């Protein structure tokens, strides 16, 4: 048998990271990366031929349902941890069984995020995406390290851009220590006066920022990136998964930094895990090769190589993380296992909100009213706590 005959095609369904963007070039950058990855993998795993299809995040579940019902479902599904869990719950993927040895290769905090209530794993974490600050080196020599510096820089004509949804603004909660109030509200507990005050302070900062001429709030990340690429903004909050697009456009002028801290503490950026889950319809051989590939993907070599090559995510393998952290851009290098634990609270809050569309909508409208309309920070803080307690 020749090598070609032995090679097997694995169908991969991938949820897009460029979700908020509804344009003709929606998946262009992702397609390029995927194609490149296919080539790279071919060299290392000649027996496996990946055939990826990129889906908009919002339609992944529906598409997988139709395909899985027909027996045409993918062999592998690439999604974030929340989506991987919900796909497993819907019966669209199979849980994955990892040996103890295999589990040791993966950061325990990351594994925890794909674990269901019964303890089974919805997928295998491969990489994690971080929230960062992206800036144009031509306009800004150094990214602001604190919110105070940010405010000062905006006074000197640098334009800062942020998105008005909680997931994208969550990093700034850490700077005020306001996360506690939200965690308590979400758990249905009483919010302490101090925690409530810190949440109100965060709201105040948001309101004040919205009054500033050079701090601009947009409704989605795509609009923010577009404005940044076109030079209308000099600093934006961004996601590591979206860096390739920015790198392509800004080349060497793109600067990456950690998000600014506040007086209370450091920023708490959200992370998104890239999780690979097993499709339901694979044949025996397809399943075996999929598991083979999953094993390969968490080995230190693959983790290190792909993290350094694409520079979009942080390895989930702690050994690989150690190796690459020095070679990755500043925003990444600060990220460590400790950091992982620190930010996991934010991830939990955001994923809980994501799972409740109505709550998400209510929170969004409160933030919009605060930033664009006349809602006072005090009222907004109370409203947010009430909404989270009601958990609709």
- Site of interaction with another protein (CB under 8 A): 8-11, 13, 24, 26-28, 31, 51, 53-56, 59, 63, 66-72, 281-283, 285-286
Residue (26 or 356) nearer to another protein, CB = 26
Sequence-separated contacts (24+) of 316-319 with Cβ below 8 Å = 316/106, 316/107, 316/110, 316/125, 316/126, 316/127, 316/128, 316/273, 317/105, 317/106, 317/107, 318/107, 319/105
Residue (53 or 103) nearer to another protein, CB = 53
Q: CB 255 → another protein: shortest distance, Å?
A: 31
Q: CB 4 → another protein: shortest distance, Å?
A: 12
Q: Give the C-alpha distances (Å, rounded to integers) separating 273 from 133, 181, 388.
A: 19, 25, 24
Residue (68 or 201) nearer to another protein, CB = 68
Give the DSSP letter of residue 50: E
Both tokens assigned to 250? 């800004």
Q: CB 174 → another protein: shortest distance, Å?
A: 36
Residue (26 or 139) nearer to another protein, CB = 26
Residue (48 or 363) nearer to another protein, CB = 48
Q: Give the C-alpha distances (Å, rounded to integers) separating 375 from 197, 353, 372, 379, 381.
A: 17, 22, 9, 7, 10
Q: CB 116 → another protein: shortest distance, Å?
A: 21
CA distance 74 to 54: 12
Q: CB 27 → another protein: shortest distance, Å?
A: 6
**Element (H or E) spanning 353, and its range?**
helix 337-354
Neighbours of 213 (CB within 10 A): 9
Q: For residue 101, which phi and psi values (nearest 5 degrees)? A: -60, -45
Q: CB 55 → another protein: shortest distance, Å?
A: 5
Are 30 and 54 in contact by the 8 Å Cβ rule? The answer is yes
Q: CB 54 → another protein: shortest distance, Å?
A: 5
Residue (194 or 288) nearer to another protein, CB = 288
Residue (58 or 152) nearer to another protein, CB = 58
**Element (H or E) spanning 278, and its range?**
strand 271-279
Helix 179-186 and helix 166-176, axial crossing angle in degrees, nearest 10: 120
Give the DSSP letter of residue 258: P
Q: CB 75 → another protein: shortest distance, Å?
A: 8
Are 121 and 96 in contact by the 8 Å Cβ rule? The answer is yes
Residue (214 or 282) nearer to another protein, CB = 282
CA distance 118 to 339: 27
Strands 271-279 and 76-79 come out as antiparallel
Q: CB 85 → another protein: shortest distance, Å?
A: 22
Are 369 and 380 in contact by the 8 Å Cβ rule? The answer is yes
Which residue's structure tokens are 């404005």?
Answer: 227
Are 249 and 225 in contact by the 8 Å Cβ rule? The answer is no
Residue (181 or 278) nearer to another protein, CB = 278
Degrees (nearest 5) of the Cα angle 213, 219, 223? 85
Residue (100 or 285) nearer to another protein, CB = 285
Q: CB 69 → another protein: shortest distance, Å?
A: 4
Both tokens assigned to 191? 């919010």
């Amino acid at each position: 048998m020749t090598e070609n005959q032995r090679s097997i095609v694995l169908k991969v369904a991938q949820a897009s990271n460029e979700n908020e963007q509804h344009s003709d070039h929606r998946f262009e950058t992702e397609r390029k990366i995927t194609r490149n990855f296919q080539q790279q993998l071919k060299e290392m795993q000649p027996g496996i031929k990946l055939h990826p299809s990129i889906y908009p995040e919002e339609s992944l579940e529906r598409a997988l349902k139709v395909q899985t019902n027909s027996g045409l479902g993918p062999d592998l599904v690439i999604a974030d941890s929340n989506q991987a869990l919900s796909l497993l719950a819907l019966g669209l993927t199979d849980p994955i069984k990892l040996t103890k040895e295999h589990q040791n290769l993966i950061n325990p905090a990351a594994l925890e995020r794909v674990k269901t209530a019964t303890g089974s794993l919805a997928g295998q974490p491969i990489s994690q995406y971080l929230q960062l600050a992206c800036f144009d080196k031509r306009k800004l020599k150094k990214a602001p390290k604190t919110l105070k510096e940010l405010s000062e820089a905006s006074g000197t004509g640098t334009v800062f851009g942020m998105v008005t949804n909680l997931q994208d603004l969550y990093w700034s909660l850490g700077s005020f220590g306001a996360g506690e109030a939200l965690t308590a509200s979400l758990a249905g507990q009483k919010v302490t006066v101090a925690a409530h005050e810190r949440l109100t302070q965060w709201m105040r900062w948001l309101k004040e920022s919205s009054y500033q001429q050079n701090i601009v709030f947009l409704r989605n990340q795509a609009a923010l990136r577009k404005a940044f690429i076109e030079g209308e903004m000099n600093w934006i909050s961004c996601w590591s998964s979206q860096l390739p697009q920015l790198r392509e456009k800004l080349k060497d002028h793109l600067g990456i930094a950690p998000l600014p801290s506040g007086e209370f503490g450091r920023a708490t950026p959200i992370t998104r895990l890239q999780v690979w889950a097993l499709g339901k319809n694979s044949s025996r051989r397809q399943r075996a090769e999929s598991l083979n590939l999953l094993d390969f993907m968490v080995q230190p070599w693959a983790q290190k190589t792909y993290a350094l090559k694409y520079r979009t995510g942080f390895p989930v393998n702690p050994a690989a993380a150690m190796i690459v952290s020095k070679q990755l851009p500043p925003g990444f290098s600060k990220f460590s296992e400790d950091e992982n634990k620190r930010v996991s609270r934010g991830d939990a809050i955001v994923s809980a909100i994501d799972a409740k569309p109505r709550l998400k909508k209510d929170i969004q409208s409160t933030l919009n009213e605060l930033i664009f309309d006349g809602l006072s920070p005090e009222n907004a803080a109370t409203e947010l706590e009430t909404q989270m307690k009601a958990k609709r």
